[in-house]
Amino acid sequence: MPKIELKNVYKIFGEEPQSVLPLIKNGATKEEILEDTDHTVGLDNVSISVEEGETFVCMGLSGSGKSTLIRHINRLIDPTEGEVLVDGVNVLEFNEKELLELRRHEMSMVFQRFGLFPHKTVKENVAYGLEVQDKPLEERNQTAEEQIKAVGLSGFEHQYPSQLSGGMQQRVGLARALATNPGILLMDEAFSALDPLIRNDMQDQLLELQSKLHKTIVFITHDLDESLKLGDHIGILNDGKLVQVGKPEEIIMNPADDYVAAFVKDVNRAKVLRAKTIMLSPEKYTANGKGSGETHKVLENSFIEEFLPLVLEKRSVVEVIDKDGNTMGFITEKELAQSLSKT
């Protein structure tokens, strides 16, 4: 069962959204709806499924519906029509108390502008969610210190947000989100306000934490490189419509339309595509008459950039193996050339 599901979600902003819904279902565009009815389409029949422990990245240009989508998960926004399920339960049916419990215990949100309390220290900010949960002071302090250490801010516990850099403030925001041990992390353009180098460090920090914690993360961004780096699956929105969902390599290799193709055309494929994505099966490799020659073994999850220089220098064939050393497939110069071609 998926951890999070949105099923056929429509969101229309305006005074009479229900009256506009039939127009959308009959194929009217976002621009037509705005011009004819003065309503704005936020989401147009969007369905997503996020498995427990995965990072689902939703990306698109400004106004595509990314932030509208993520705010449906914790019901900061309710849909005009559709279902929002967490652990198979439709949260739209929750009363105020049930919704509050969901937000306090099951979900945390990390914002673009940090959202820290300026009058509280780093430790107090990190412990805030636990204070809301009425946890004992000793437990709050211990957990806060553990999370501060986890994000690399030991020694800054008694500093105030104004004394920290932007990157450090966002680390505090991440630590605060993790302190309540939520199953779900909602990250809305969390790193977008940071300088490129700091942003890259925060991405690495998140990947490191996720490798240990296995949270279910929904991450919103307008940056393709960030999507490809962080996402187990990527959903691409355009004018409120979900135009493609897939693994990073699927998005790169098989863009669904011209909009997606324009996003991915300048991507360095060697940094994104893995050996297992482009390999030939052993049977196909042998059938093609390529069963001889020097081979070089690489793990199935290796990126092309890791073994490309060796192949070019040695003219060797790549044997793709799993973690137990079993042969999964083979890669020749031809497969490499095809996978790196952008035509």
Per-residue pLDDT at 256 = 93
Band (pLDDT 50/70/90 cuts) for residue 293 is low
Ramachandran region, residue 240 (left: φ > 0; alpha: ψ -120 to 50; beta: rest): left
| Residues 301-326: tens digit of each pLDDT | 888 888 888 777 777 788 898 888 89
In single-letter form, the type of residue at position 6 comes to L
Asked whether residue 45 carries a pLDDT value surpassing 90, the answer given is yes
What are the structural domains of the chain? 4-123+182-266 (3.40.50.300), 275-340 (3.10.580.10)
Q: Distance between terminal CA atoms of the chain?
A: 38
Residue 182 has which token pair? Answer: 């939520």
Name 253's bridge partners. none
CA distance 200 to 215: 20
CA distance 167 to 92: 35
- Asked if 162 and 118 touch (Cβ cutoff 8 Å), the reply is yes
CA distance 213 to 313: 40
Average pLDDT, the chain: 89
Q: Which pairing describes strands 89-90 and 107-110: parallel, antiparallel, or unpaired?
A: unpaired
- Supply φ then ψ for residue 179, to 5 degrees: -60, -35
- Asked if 240 and 30 touch (Cβ cutoff 8 Å), the reply is yes
Mean pLDDT of 55-76: 93
Return the ∠ at Cα 37 (arms to 35 and 43), rounded to 5°: 90
| Residues 116-125: tens digit of each pLDDT | 889 999 999 9
Per-residue pLDDT at 218 = 96
Residue in the structure block whose two tokens are 């999850």: 301
Residue 26, CB half-sphere, CA atoms under 13 Å: how many?
A: 7
Coil, strand, or helix at residue 320? strand
Closest CA to 107 of 69, 71, 139: 71
